[in-house]
Amino acid sequence: GAVVSQHPSRVICKSGTSVKIECRSLDFQATTMFWYRQFPKQSLMLMATSNEGSKATYEQGVEKDKFLINHASLTLSTLTVTSAHPEDSSFYICRVRDLSRDEQFFGPGTRLTVL
Instruction: Compute CA 72 distance to the chain's CA centroid, rounded to the nearest angstrom.
Output: 14
Q: Are 112 and 92 in contact (CB under 8 A)?
A: yes
Helices (H), the chain: none
Q: Does 114 bind another protein (CB under 8 A)?
A: no
**Contact code string over 19-58 relative to another protein, x by CB under 8 A:** -------------x-x------xxxxxx--x---------
Q: Does 7 bind another protein (CB under 8 A)?
A: no
Contact footprint for another protein (CB under 8 A):
32, 34, 41-46, 49, 91, 93, 95, 97, 102, 104, 106-109, 111
